[in-house]
Structure 1
């Protein structure tokens, strides 16, 4: 009989207690004042009912649900009395906010109820459950959702979207109404896995749909009425407006309640913002991409940087949207660059300074375009570099032929003459010239850095290095450098921009040789003076150069030297053998030069001449008035015919002087036109003219731009470039094969170009030829099952 008595007691317990508990619960729902005693009694009564009877928790939950539903029904009735959209929103938001506030307070006294229903101890519930997991809170939110929100959410949503539409049309309204509706969508969801489920499926989806519909209706008409350029401003403005509007009306971290702030993932926020932005970009930009892009090439040609920047900012939001812009920029730089070079061809082909200035001017113009129009975006800088590289390496205006006489090697494709002209320009800056004299030290440094900038885009840098080295050789031998410190700085700068170490090291060695030669000269002159030959020693300087660093041709041109020099040479060789045993000297007279005194009836002049010029002029030393035919000069000088003709031409047709040293007959248009019967004689009227006045004394440089090499050595230089490329290609292929052991033809070519690109780009024909050569010489072989696969042979 004990159990039934407890059951009756429990039943009485709940009925008695709920009657005393219910007024406080209703006060909390209505947000009416509750005394401390009522608050504490509610805690105790819930605790008592839930612990004294097994069915107590269920009865409390059911009774609480009934009261909540009744309260919500009354709130719905109060809300639906309003027919106007704005009034309805205001009423709903007011009711919702009051109810939602109580969702945080009402569950607190029912902690024991939640413990009993969950079958856990109070302590474990407090440790593991957060306020948002409250059963009472879930009951309140689910009841509101099912009873009122589900019935009128479409009206609420439609009303909110109408208000947003009004704002887009420029009408004023209370934005808090839309925010309030959004908050109810966000906070109503009690699903712990996805707190924003109701919001995303309803409010956010409706907002994005309404936005898309609005601009689908507005954008085409605006474009038709105002044109592309005004439309871009409109689209940019609207995108920014929608981003700001989304910050107000779509869910963001700021908009979450304190509980949701802890659980809402950043990725959810980002994705919501992204979806709206993507929608706006689609209807405002992507839909009209082709129309907008049609204006791009015209804007680039007109240098309309502000409009291009706006276009870039818009189309960069579209997947692959800027690719056509990149192509338009490349085409413009190629076409404009080549057009400017062709237009200035008459000037720049004969003046390396003008050529480099033209290239730098183009680079600065294109760089400024990319900076202003595309904010130096790396993708546009890459397009600029690709197109500018095409301009620099173009062969339309300048063409350098590098013929190969090697058997079995195909004739090379014409290359740009740019590297040669860059080397010439460096020579003008580093040599004693009117240009280097009028520039300050800092200006020369700046221009040399500009050359290195252009050099970065030169495809065949080995050609530049070959010519730069030839000019450096000339400057060091002729002592014509404007500043030795700058010469050495230039070598280090070449190292810094990635020139191969073996090239740069040879240049550095050349400076060392010159310094060593200076010391050797001093010691030798002292030794000669001791023998009583001081006069000739004071007039002659010997440069002893390392053949490996200077890499001159092995060809030695014989020439009959003046007697004083012929007698001096054995003494130099004897002294050098004593001080450096085991070393052999080879005399390169074609690289030598000197100063001779020229006298005639006009005056006395010092002439700076090459050794070949000196040998020719000394033919008249004992017979100054005689006319000597070409054949006799050949016998007297013992020079090869080609070099003799070239040397004579420099003495009868030197471009910088009005009165030539030698005169001749009959007339000739070039050195090749000299006949065996052509006679030459010393011009007794020769003199130096300055400012229209004949000078009786002076110094004249007749070396001019004569190369310190023969026609044959120039051919060998070109052949040397090709031969070195062949060796470099072979070396790189072997290096790759040794590392990879097995590699496909395509991969081999890719890696080979990557290795060699800092010096030159090997042609496919050259690569094929060298692969065949290496296969033939057993460095590698083809796979028997796949001819496009190569295998390394140790």
Structure 2
């Protein structure tokens, strides 16, 4: 009992000596080392030797802190003017907050003692990371008394100063910063240290900002117009972001600045979104890149803000692009070089717009690509007709199993017209790669750049399979006729096509064509060496090309013709030579792909004519009777050429462009190949000659092959029908590939995957897809689910 009585007197004995030091600390008065140390010891004694001592110390401390704060509040409220009030508050708070670090130190034993008393109603258990009990007491006391009483005045005064700054008035910014810091440091909540700041200061700041610009922004827009308003809005957004960095909390994890930015965007931009965007289309048409760049920077802050800008850009590119193409239609439809240059000029112009106005933003680049693709694939300027007659012509089977001829898919009757762009691109490539006036005047680097330009446009071509077919036809002519301007460029072009994503099977066939030409060169040397002793004429005159049918041939290329005796004689020799080298391989002669040089003699002189095999067959009809007249019917019997090919060949000899004197004459005179009839008569022109500078030449050489070589009426039709046939096969192959992998798939998913597989070659129409699905169902490659007609099931 004696120990208990002694303990109960500890607080009463010690507190009178402790309190003066506590008050000095609160008032930031000097404290001697002895007083500081005595306070530590007194707290230690009370907490250890008095059971109720810790609670009494805590209550006495709380009372002195509240008393001190009450006096501080009186001193603050003594100031009526806003700036003076803020200065006084910041000064008082600064002193108090500094002591929040010092005063708790001597009371560490108090905290230890109180933390162990679970029954105390005034304190909670101290968790790791939680404020010290005395510091928390000080902050909570300040918050519950002076802060709660005057926080509205503090906020209002701070917001008035910020408002004054927005209106261009000067003031001490540290006043606002000081208030902000007191809000930030005031919270003793370890879970959310910024709660008091966020619920009060930040909220008031955002509301004041919104109210300010809700009043100012509409007036400025009304007085100055949209374009000036955009500069105003942009400058104010930057100004407010800078101001927010000063006056709002920017510590780690704090979102005050972003919240303020969002608030400003809402009131300055989003509120006038439609009005601002209304100007976009006109700015794009006028190429006002500075204003567009500003609009983009503003609208990119707004949800869906740039959606309308993307639509306006697409519409402009499509409309302007097609308008320019229409304006130049007369030129570009007949000149593939001008056509490609026009497309490239459009691409470069629109790309410059996207770069300067929208900083090459990926979303705007995507819109440019989408719109430019529309221009490239448009059919309003000119179109490629792919007329397909319903001849019942079967496609090849695509699946290795027993399939009868009646099982093959048949070609439809109509097809949507397509852009002629891929054909013209192929023509332009041919001009660059063939020995032409264009390729001769360009350096190797310039040719390469222009070919790369073609590949750039080709990227946007929807139906690349059309380009493939025409490019291969041109390449075939160049290789057969040996008219390539640069063999290295030819092979490079094949690799560039591979790099831009052309289908591997197509590119591999082109590569095989070059390989065949190189092999044929070696075979020629061997053939010449083998026959030089037996027949020197054949050895020197004949040049053979052994080509792989899979890479080169089309069914229509085999056209029958009665060859001159001089050619017939060496065919068995070539076949025997090849049989001895490659047993088991069969040669098929493609006279359409052959050509030669003959000497044409008349009363004027002798001329070397480069001719097709068909032209040679026709001209040899006069080899033994140079001045006779021969009827069309007789020529047909002598050459055994099909009617369409004979007409075209004769026309090339009686009406060759750019020649004043023709090789053959005819009676009656014809205006087109259709005018020939069985009784039309033809005979060699004894006055034929080459005319240079107005003078008749007695010797000379002329190429009569032109564009006739490797092209028949039937093959032209096949070019178009073959494109569609190949598409049918590709669609069938892709559907079966998907079905094998998926086993079960919905109609929508099948179409999506199908387009993804085929998009690098062509975009299959919904009608084409539907027809091939029905055909595959009919022939038991797949079936519909019994309960869901939109679900397909693979049939192994």
Q: Considering the TM-score relative to the shorter chain, is it more than 0.5?
A: yes
Q: Is 1:422 the equivalent of 2:425? A: yes
Q: Does 1:788 align with 2:785?
A: no
Note the C-alpha offset of 1:527. Answer: 1.2
Contact 2:630/2:683 (8 A) holds in 1: yes
Q: Distance in 2 between matches of 1:26 and 1:699?
A: 121
For 1:379 and 1:290, the matched residues in 2 are separated by 20
C-alpha distance in structure 2 between counterparts of 1:667 and 1:369, whole Å: 57
Looking at structure 2, the residues matched to 502 and 557 of structure 1 have their Cα atoms a distance apart, in angstroms, of: 27
Task: Give the distance between the partners of 2:669 and 2:69, measured in 1 at CA.
Answer: 119
In 1, Cα distance between equivalents of 2:164 and 2:97: 28
> Which position in structure 1 is the counterpart of 2:322?
338
Q: Tell me how far apart the structure 2 counterparts of residues 296 and 661 of structure 1 sit (CA, whole Å).
A: 64
Measured in 1, the distance between the counterparts of 2:492 and 2:132 equals 77
In the TM superposition, residue 35 of structure 1 has moved relative to its aligned partner by 2.1
- Could you list the per-position Cα deviations for residues 669-695 of structure 1 after superposition, in whole angstroms to 9, with x for gaps in the alignment? 221122333322323332223344443
3-state secondary structure, aligned to 1:680: strand
1:2 and 2:5 are equivalent in the alignment: no
Match of 1:470 in 2: 473
- Distance in 2, Cα, partners of 1:664 & 1:554: 29
Give CA deviations for 1:592-636 in whole Å, capped at 9, x if unaligned: 111122233434322211111112222222333333332222233
CA distance in 1, matches of 2:642, 2:128: 105
TM-aligned CA deviation for residue 554 of structure 1: 5.5
- 2:235 is aligned to 237
Q: Do residues 222 (structure 1) and 220 (structure 2) align? A: yes
Q: How does 1:495-506 map to 2 (within 5 A)?
A: 495-506=498-509
Aligned to 1:456: 459
What is the CA-CA distance between 1:320 and the residue it aligns to? 0.6
Of residues 488, 510, 514 in structure 2, which corresponds to 1:511? 514
Are the counterparts in 1 of residues 8 and 51 from structure 2 also a CA contact under 8 Å? Answer: no
Q: Kindly tell me: are residues 95 and 690 of structure 1, through their superposed partners in 2, closer, same or farther at Cα, counting changes over 3 Å?
A: farther
Partner Cα distance (1:692, 1:204) in 2: 94
Aligned counterpart, 2:683: 681
Counting only pairs closer than 5 Å after superposition, residues 263-662 of structure 1 correspond to structure 2 as 266=253, 269-270=254-255, 272-406=256-390, 407=392, 409-531=412-534, 533-553=535-555, 556-662=558-664
Q: Give the Å deviation of 1:526.
A: 1.1
Once residues 676 and 449 of structure 2 are traced to their aligned partners in structure 1, the CA distance between those partners, rounded to angstroms, is 46
**In structure 1, what is the Cα distance between the partners aligned to 2:365 and 2:225?**
29
Q: C-alpha separation between the residues in 2 aligned to 1:660 and 1:696?
A: 15
* Aligned-partner Cα distance in 2 for 1:355–1:717: 22
For residue 101 of structure 1, the aligned residue among 98, 101, 106 is: 98
1:333 and 1:21 map into 2 onto residues whose CA distance is 84
Tell me the TM-score normalized by structure 2: 0.94
1:410-469 Cα offsets, whole Å, 9 max, x none, are 411111111111111111111111111111111111111111111111111111111111
Rate the CA distance shift 1:593–1:555 in 2: closer, same or farther, 3 A. closer
Q: C-alpha deviations, 1:23-42, integer Å up to 9, x for none?
A: 22112111122222222221
Q: CA deviation at 1:551?
A: 2.8
What is the alpha-carbon distance in structure 2 between the residues aligned to residue 151 and residue 178 of structure 1?
Answer: 18
- The corresponding residue for 2:395 is none
Secondary structure at the aligned position of 2:271 is classed as helix
- Aligned-CA RMSD value: 1.8
Summarize the Cα distance change of 1:544–1:562 in structure 2 as closer, same or farther, 3 Å threshold.
same
Partner of 1:256: none
Determine the C-alpha separation between the residues in 2 that align with 1:662 and 1:620. 11
**2:709 and 2:166 mapped to 1: Cα distance?**
77
Aligned equivalent of 1:41: 38
Is the counterpart of residue 84 in structure 1 residue 81 in structure 2?
A: yes
Asked if structure 1 preserves the Cα contact closer than 8 Å seen for 2:654 and 2:665, the reply is: yes
| Further displaced range: 373-382 or 572-581 | 572-581
Which residue of the other structure, out of 152, 157, 162, is the alignment partner of 1:159?
157
Deviates more, 1:112-121 or 1:431-440: 112-121
Quick one: which of 732, 739, 759 aligns to 2:734?
732
Residue matched to 1:21: 18
Tell me the CA shift for residue 659 of structure 1. Answer: 2.5
Deviant stretches of 4+, over 6 Å: 125-128
Choose from 53, 56, 59 the match for 2:56.
59
SS at 1:530 equivalent: coil
**Paired position in structure 2 for 1:173:** 171
Cα distance, 1:737 vs structure 2: 1.1
String of CA shifts for 1:576-597, please: whole Å, max 9, x gaps.
2222211111111111111122
CA distance in 2, matches of 1:414, 1:290: 39
Separation in structure 2 between the aligned mates of residue 47 and residue 34 of structure 1, nearest angstrom: 19
Structure 2's unaligned 5+ residue stretches are 119-123, 393-409
